Amino acid sequence: MVAVVSPAFNEAASTDNGSPGVSHELSITRDLLHGDRAKWRPRIIPLVLPPWTVADIPLFMQPKSATRIAVGEVSEAGLAKLLAIVTNRRRTSPRMAVSRLPAIARTHRLITSGCSIALVGGIAFAAVACQNDGDNHAQNGAAAGEGNSVVQASGVCANVGPNSSCVVESPEEAKTQVRQLDQQTSSDTEMRHLLAKRARGAPTGDGPWPFVVVDTVVDGNDIGLFARTTSEVRAEHLGVASNHSVVWADCEATSDFMPPDVNGDTDVGPRWLSVRWKPVAPTALSVSEPNQDDHAWMYRGTLLPLDHDGHVPSC
């Protein structure tokens, strides 16, 4: 586990004032160390990036005696020691690890704005939690949902047969319908129930078709749903969709990869939707509109169809 430290990270470790998400991650880290210190002490690596210092490493991680890495710059040279440790532990080639370096460089901006980031599994995945006063997508989730409907789109629905339902015709209509559903529910479980009741038949027309993002709130923070360049384990992030926002999908595919920590209603197997998407920075909010030319992949388990049964064509 590579734990990117910061003052916010240290505060969460030593007080009850930090981010609930980071506090939860730290409690798991403490439990691992307590259960088998010999195994986990060398495997939990605090990473100190500028402008922070070793003083920002929580005391329980033994900042003076345990393994730690402090770098002067976020670059291949600056992170060479970290990459050497990670590639040796995972027994992969240095070239493979270096290919993941841009993801660390991009997330460095978050750390300097009051966020703490835990990079888990040989820097393959990142779990990000920010302070409430930071510039983060959890705070701006509602505003982003309001921005999902800017351009009108026509011709989404064709003639509707007796066993089909017409998909909403524009981003504006989709936004209005989801806002109304949001006012009727107090949880994502209720939102799932209402959306299921409205799934009256197969989608009609040529697509794309609207889906609603659900179940992305963790410990009171909306972590959002990542848009990815592929549906495979190796992918770049192209931005984030907030909870209860609308994305427009063209087709569905199955891969051999599922996101980590998928469970319950969100576990639908390695199924992915190809959605219309405006690419942005990896952790920045963006919107999906049916007339966009760019595409991205999103996990199907956190996307529920809006006014249709979700049986879109295979990619």
Residue 209 exposure: Cα atoms within 13 Å on the Cβ side? 28
Long-range contacts of 37-43 (CB under 8 A, 24+ apart): 41/66, 41/67, 42/66, 42/67, 43/1, 43/89
pLDDT at position 253, please?
95
Q: For position 169, what pLDDT does the model report? A: 56
* Residue 247 burial (10 A CB sphere; 0-12, 13-18, 19+): buried
Q: What is the per-residue pLDDT for 117?
A: 41
Mean pLDDT in consecutive groups of 10 residues from the start of the chain, 315 residues: 85 75 83 86 86 86 80 79 68 38 44 40 34 35 30 33 48 88 88 88 88 89 91 92 94 91 87 95 90 94 93 93
